[in-house]
Copies of this chain bind each other. A is one copy, B any other.
């Protein structure tokens, strides 16, 4: 039983904790949180040991009636592996502390690639990471995870000459009411290509990927408008099958009449999924089209949850407990991914 601590219990952290708790080979050593808000109370009700990430906030937890299991060092000591889910940039600052305790750690996509030993995506480079000495590993961001999951199989099946993708990004997560824009469509970043292409290269080094980022006033999911110039011709049906055979890609059938992310979320809620999460890339079947060697499709990426199964797999890769295929099947089964 691998004891895993979660530092940072927000959008990603709470999902990772629940995903760990659902695994047969892992248990949640505890979670660390800065603020004793409703999310901290929920963590306590779920039975997680709640640690105060900042010592000075401990009295606030007491006032809020949330028992504190210890501080952050206590959490690291109690953990075989730590998953750092703190805000972008904070993770890199925490690395030293984990190293002090000689505890391997995962970081999220908000950290720079060069702040860690290696970057990870289960479909792209699980076995490579498992075979390496890397102890401080970054699970790539939601957008990069989404791109890697489709580009890896397309590269294998047809070869990828070049990918051009426009990432239409949600402005904030559903729970983030202090983010905007309210009524704008922002080139973000204005400079092209965006950092997302190079980020794909941290897990799939040899792919040519140019990306453009746009931010819009919506919260549910990102939408990717993807063009892939293949090396060999393929028809749309073949591509559809290639993608559908991936366990973390859901090819949405036309008959489902899914107009967009809002319907996808409705679908996930109807299916009884925890928090209405969609761990899989959602590719519109009706959008898959090929013009010559140019493949096009739309996919929606649930930013809050697509990296969650990847974090679970990354822990096994670090721990050396399973190979890629075993881990992915185990994770998927425990969470209900692909079903």
A contacts, CB < 8 Å to B:
14, 35-39, 41-42, 45, 63-65, 162, 164, 166, 168, 170-172, 174-187, 190-193, 210, 212, 214, 216-223, 225, 227, 255-263, 265-267, 269-272, 274-276, 284, 286-289, 291, 294, 296-298, 300
**When the two chains form their complex, are residues B178 and A42 in contact, meaning their CB atoms are under 8 A apart?**
no
A186 to B284, CA, bound (A): 11
Whole-angstrom distance between the Cβ of A250 and the nearest chain B Cβ: 12
With A182-B183, A216-B216, A217-B218 already in contact, the answer to whether A267 and B166 are too (CB < 8 A) is no
In the bound complex, what is the Cα–Cα distance between A284 and B166 (angstroms)?
A: 16
In the complex, are the beta carbons of A265 and B212 less than 8 A apart? Answer: no
7 A-B Cβ contacts within 8 A? A38-B266, A179-B181, A183-B262, A190-B286, A212-B225, A212-B296, A216-B217
- Interface centre among A14, A177, A225, A258, by most chain B C-beta atoms within 10 angstroms, is A177
Q: Could you say which residues of chain B place their CB within 8 Å of the CB of A269?
A: 274-276
5 further interface pairs, Cβ-Cβ under 8 Å (given A183-B183, A185-B223, A193-B291) = A36-B255, A63-B255, A164-B164, A181-B260, A190-B284
From the candidates B35, B168, B191, name the one contacting A185 in the complex (CB within 8 A).
B168
CA distance A190 to B180 in the complex (A): 20
Cβ-defined partner of A191 (8 Å) among B266, B267, B287: B287
Of B14, B178, B214, B288, the residue contacting A180 (CB under 8 A) is B178
B296–A192 touching, CB < 8 Å:
yes
Q: Point out the residues of chain B lying under 8 angstroms from A175, CB to CB.
A: 262-263, 265-266
Instruction: Tell me the complex Cα distance, A176–B259, Å.
Output: 10
Which residues of chain B are near A178, meaning CB under 8 Å? 180-181
**Minimum CB distance partner of A212 in chain B:** B225
Q: Please name all residues of chain B whose beta carbon is closer than 8 Å to the beta carbon of A288 when the two chains form the complex.
A: 192
Query: Which 6 interchain pairs have the tightest Cβ spacing?
Result: A166-B166, A42-B270, A37-B257, A186-B260, A180-B180, A175-B266
A8 to chain B, nearest CB (A): 15
Q: Which of A42, A63, A288 has the most CB of B within 10 A?
A: A42
**Cβ contacts under 8 Å, A42 to chain B:** 267, 270-271
Chain B residue contacts of A63, Cβ below 8 A: 255
Contact between A262 and B218, CB atoms less than 8 A apart: no
Please tell me which one of the listed residues B182, B193, B214 contacts residue A168 in the complex, with CB atoms under 8 A apart: B214
Contact B260 A221 (CB under 8 A): no
Query: How far, in Å, is A196 (CB) from chain B's closest CB?
Result: 13
A30–B174 Cα gap in the complex (Å)? 34
Q: Is the CB of A263 within 8 A of B296?
A: no
